[in-house]
Structure 1
Amino acid sequence: MKVTFVCHGNICRSPMAQFILKYLEPKIEVDSKATHTDELGSDMYYPAKVKLTKEGIPFSKHTATLLKSSDYDKSDYFLVMDTENFTNTVIRLNGDPQNKVFRLLEFTGENRDVADPWYTGNFDKAYDDILKGCKAFLENVNRKI
């Protein structure tokens, strides 16, 4: 199984989610992508690295990359951080005929977005939301197996 996390710039939320899910379930192939070109080529934002380190989540070198329509067939799930990027993800993928695109917090039963710490500065809240979403996603997937 392959999961691709998606956010605006691919430097905060989606790479945090990538490394959190990989930590929780090493058997899953995990990637992350951006819907915009703002930060392409950039590493994960330093405060995101600090938060992952504080929580004991290992991470490796990250390079922000853009989501492309060709990614659709390479992933089983696209887990998106917010409503705006959900829309942009579906557009960038040229649709979602196989229903692979979800907002991450849908799996928790909550109809809300993972707040962007780039704007809020609150990496603790983003981490908590992402962790909660990843755990709920894994529970959902395990029920289907």
Structure 2
Amino acid sequence: MEKIKVLFICHGNICRSPMAEFILKDMVQAQGLASQFEIASAATSTEEIWNGIGNPVYPPAREELARHSISCEGKRAVQLKKSDYDKYDYLIGMDTMNIRNIEKITGHRGGKIKMLLEYTGSTASVIDPWYSRKFDDTYRDIVTGCKAFLEYLQKQGKIEES
């Protein structure tokens, strides 16, 4: 079975999308499903990328992950590329502005592009902690979304039970 390729996307790739990347990696590892996935994250902007080198995960986001024993060691911001649409099975944005920018960059609409909380049946955005400063709320939103995403994959028969 081919790996399920998931790309989480936010504006800068230093808060929400890397948090989602490492939360989902942690979840699939804990469930013995890690070998079935390829999980990454990217930015729609270049604001956190300088001379081709991305900034590391924003310290408060890194600290929130660490509070839950999740490491994001070595992660640096990268920008979404047009070719990522073909590479990944799921392009998951955090808010409606991300979705518009993902569509603009990839040249595709809908299909494999969704907001994370859509998997919970909600049209809500994942709270942006850059502005709210509530990294714990963002963490909870992402955990809720990732659990719902895994349930969706199970219902679709895409995950092989370990």
TM-based fold match above 0.5: yes
| 2:55 matched residue in structure 1 | 42
Per the alignment, in what secondary structure is the counterpart of residue 125 of structure 1?
helix
Quote the Cα distance in structure 2 between the aligned partners of 1:59 and 1:42: 13
Deviation, structure 1 residue 39: 0.4
Q: Which runs of 4 or more aligned residues in structure 1 lie more than 3 Å from their structure 2 counterparts after TM superposition? A: none
Aligned residues: 144
Match of 2:7 among 4, 7, 10: 4
Query: Are 2:84 and 1:81 aligned?
Result: no
| 2:139 matched residue in structure 1 | 127
| 2:31 matched residue in structure 1 | none
| 2:160 matched residue in structure 1 | none
Quote the Cα distance in structure 2 between the aligned partners of 1:60 and 1:73: 27
Quote the Cα distance in structure 2 between the aligned partners of 1:134 and 1:57: 15
| 2:75 matched residue in structure 1 | 62
| 1:142 matched residue in structure 2 | 154
Deviation, structure 1 residue 20: 0.4
Higher alpha-carbon deviation: 128-137 or 52-61: 52-61
Query: Are 2:42 and 1:33 aligned?
Result: yes
TM-score (norm 2): 0.86
Deviation, structure 1 residue 110: 1.3
| 1:72 matched residue in structure 2 | 85
Instruction: State the percentage of identical aligned residues.
Output: 47
- Bigger-Rg structure (1/2): 2
Q: Extract unaligned runs of 5+ from structure 1.
A: none
Corresponding letter in the other structure for 2:91: F
The CA RMSD over aligned residues, in Å, is: 1.0
TM-score (norm 1): 0.96
Q: Extract unaligned runs of 5+ from structure 2.
A: 29-33, 158-162
